[in-house]
Amino acid sequence: MKNQIDEQDFQKAISEAIIQLIRQPPITLVLQRPFLLILISHLQLALRHPANNGCCSESVRQFIDAMTDEFFTWSPALLELICRGDDPHYDVLNMEIVAQPEGAQRTCRVCGCTDREPCKPACAWIAPDLCSACLPAVSRILRP
């Protein structure tokens, strides 16, 4: 159940908490590159909401641009994919999601990680039988 709090008190508490965040040391995130691509796509989707504007949205756009420039310029295909993330014309609608049978779990064809025992650091599924940690290995094998 939500705590009942006066809106003015809530806004003041948020402002004070943000000031505390600014004073704290920066954090370091370790991400697999496929997960960064997924994160960028979700941020792009959020930025397309008509009310999502202002300085915060501009900071997110700068983050997307910086991450794209830093990690994806080597691939024209990925650059195009990221550009398409800003264009609703390329949205995938009505995609059929196939549910797995109850109790079934995915297993990576390369490393053998599963839903219950993912890689360390954590991976994500990029195909029904391939985790994000193993994508670079598969890419090297498949490269002409």
- pLDDT score of 1 more than 60: no
CB distance 123 to 32 below 8 Å: yes
Q: Are residues 35 and 85 in the same domain?
A: yes
Q: Are residues 73 and 115 in the same domain?
A: no
Q: Note whether residue 109 is domain-resident.
A: yes
pLDDT given for residue 101 in this prediction: 64
pLDDT tens column, 35-55: 898 899 889 999 998 898 888
Peptide bond into 101 cis (omega under 30): no
pLDDT tens column, 88-136: 887 766 545 455 566 678 899 889 999 888 888 778 888 888 888 887 6
pLDDT band at 144 (very low <50, low <70, confident <90, very high): very low
Cα torsion 119, 29, 128, 139: sign: negative
Give the Cα separation of 125 and 38 in Å (integer): 11
Q: Note whether residue 23 is domain-resident.
A: no
Rounded mean pLDDT, 22-41: 90
pLDDT given for residue 136 in this prediction: 67
Residue ranges making up the domain that contains 80: 31-89
Alpha-helical segments (H) within the chain: 7-23, 33-47, 55-71, 76-84, 135-142
pLDDT given for residue 98 in this prediction: 53
pLDDT given for residue 59 in this prediction: 94
Among residues 101, 131, 138, the alpha carbon closest in space to that of 115 is found at 131
Q: Note whether residue 10 is domain-resident.
A: no
The number of domains in the chain is 2
Q: Are residues 109 and 83 in the same domain?
A: no
- pLDDT score of 58 more than 80: yes
Q: Are residues 82 and 123 in the same domain?
A: no
Q: Are residues 85 and 110 in the same domain?
A: no
